[in-house]
Amino acid sequence: MNNLIRVIEQFKNKKILVLGDVMLDKYIWGDVSRISPEAPVQIVNVSKESYAPGGAANVANNIAALDAKSFMVGVVGKDHTKEQLISDLKKRNVDVLGLIEDENKRTIRKVRVFGRSQQLLRFDYEKRGYVNADTENKIFGFIEKNLGNVDAVIVSDYAKGTITKTLMEKLIALCKEKNKIIVVDPKPKHRDFYKNATLITPNHKEAYEMANLAEEPEDADIEMLGKKLLEEMNSTILVTRGGKGMSLFEKDGKITNIPTFAKEVYDIVGAGDTAVATVALALASGADFEEAAIIANYAAGITVGKVGTSTVSVEELKESIENA
């Protein structure tokens, strides 16, 4: 435990570059006490609205909340949502110089409606499709220029178009050349983009899809699943399994199953973002894969105890580990 605390205390000295699909999350909060006379739907009496960085931007937000320096790289449209997102990220001490404006895209916005603490509805505003070659080159150019100043790279892929095969091939080769950690939060449709990354962190469902298995394996088959992915991706694999914790598969053949540390689960939104942010920070701070996974598991356990897209502080993380 003391070693885990020592790792966490190094977070403040680290710089992490986050590449991925940025979004703005909007929350509409209110009370529900009756059904509409116009249609069989609930009426929400709105009491407040709030905003938070979403998608890859939430990963960058988690990095900043853990006292590290966070650099956000992604694509935004030329719209009001971009201005709101940039303003919000700046307030949270996230560097936004790597956000590339593309007139062919719109800044992704997700609007969630809550009746008290129960999510009732979600609206998505987005324009899917891969970025064009010009935007792709601008993204890689920014990373190439700034990679020497960071300790690790996180790729947060939501399959909205920022992450392309060419971009990932060039990025992984560059990270290998510069001896930089690269951690990927994947989408199964892009599995072949991520080969040779330092660490890949699929959830259980994503893992079996990436392994091309017909159905989700039972607990007894998790070993087979992890070994198959490790061999095919040539990367260390960390499978996040919700209430069952995490399973870590390392290249030397070591397999570690880590139980969940969540005490109460209110909302799983953003838990994966917290986990990937924390595991990358821990690796950059000198942790081995097992130590990094344990720290990330504690962080995710804290996040699911909060409603909405949320972050974890260094103080909360240290307290959770000390009180375990």
Residues with active-site annotation: 273
Residue 189: count other Cβ atoms within 10 Å of its Cβ.
Answer: 12
Interatomic CA distance for residues 250 and 253, integer angstroms: 6
Strands of the chain, DSSP E: 15-20, 22-35, 42-55, 69-76, 94-101, 108-115, 118-125, 152-156, 181-185, 199-200, 236-240, 246-249, 255-258
AA identity, residue 239: V
- Is 52 within 8 Å of 25 (Cβ atoms)? yes
- Is 157 within 8 Å of 20 (Cβ atoms)? yes
Strands of 146-270, DSSP E: 152-156, 181-185, 199-200, 236-240, 246-249, 255-258
Interatomic CA distance for residues 252 and 262, integer angstroms: 29
DSSP 8-state assignment for residue 147:
G
- Is 23 within 8 Å of 110 (Cβ atoms)? yes
Residue 54: count other Cβ atoms within 10 Å of its Cβ.
Answer: 26
